[in-house]
Chain A
Amino acid sequence: MIFYAAALVLIAIGLYAIIIKKNLVKIIIGLDLIETGVNLLIVSIGYVNHGTAPIFSKGVSASMMVDAVPQALTLTSIVIGASELALAAAFVVLLYRHYGTLDIRKMRNLRW
């Protein structure tokens, strides 16, 4: 039960950083926090009371394992999150080179 609340608190903190903060690096930190919160939420849905890790060996049968499908989904999600953060970092470097600042209030001129 505490794991659900922790994951949703992480998502709320990340959302605060994206909506209210004005620095570009802080916005990207908020993106990463939302990713981490969602991954924690997905893995904690698949937990079974008194279960063990889903790897077969001597003395472990299929009836005492936790659910393995959310773990496979989370593996994909972590790698895609990292690649999207790398692309956002490249954008930040490019924007700094063009505007000279990291404040989003000064990047308002859209050229047609």
Chain B
Amino acid sequence: MIYVAWFLILLTIGFAVLSVHLKDLLAAVILMGASSLIVSVLFVFLQAPDVAMSEASIGAALTMAIYIIVVKKTEASEK
């Protein structure tokens, strides 16, 4: 069971590195939201269901919506 946690941790770090590196701002912001969602699954592995629900609803849904609105109102690309 611990190998699933290893795989999810590698996915989280990979998405974070890719999100900082890309030039397209919309793709970077969506990868950031995906990384938050996988961290929420990691919270379930650490036996914390309250924190997982809070991170999934606030960190991965509302924060990503705010980011996407900001990217749409300003330039959508360009490093």
Quick check: A2 and B9 within 8 Å, CB to CB? yes
Interface secondary structure of B, over-half rule: helix
How many residues does chain A have at the interface if contact means C-beta atoms less than 8 Å apart? 46
Chain A residues touching B, majority SS: helix
Asked if B28 and A26 make an inter-chain contact with CB atoms under 8 angstroms apart, the answer reads: yes
Q: For the complex, give the distance between the alpha carbons of A64 and B5 in Å.
A: 22
A13 touches B20 (CB 8 A): yes
Q: Given A29-B32, A89-B70 in contact, is the A10-B59 Cβ separation under 8 Å?
A: no
List A residues at the B interface (Cβ < 8 Å). Answer: 2-3, 6, 9-10, 13-14, 16-17, 21-23, 25-26, 28-30, 32-33, 36, 39-40, 43-44, 47, 51-55, 66, 71, 74-75, 78-79, 81-82, 85-86, 89, 92-93, 96, 101-102
Other A-B pairs beyond A39-B39, A66-B48, 7, CB < 8 Å? A6-B12, A25-B71, A26-B28, A29-B29, A30-B20, A32-B32, A33-B35
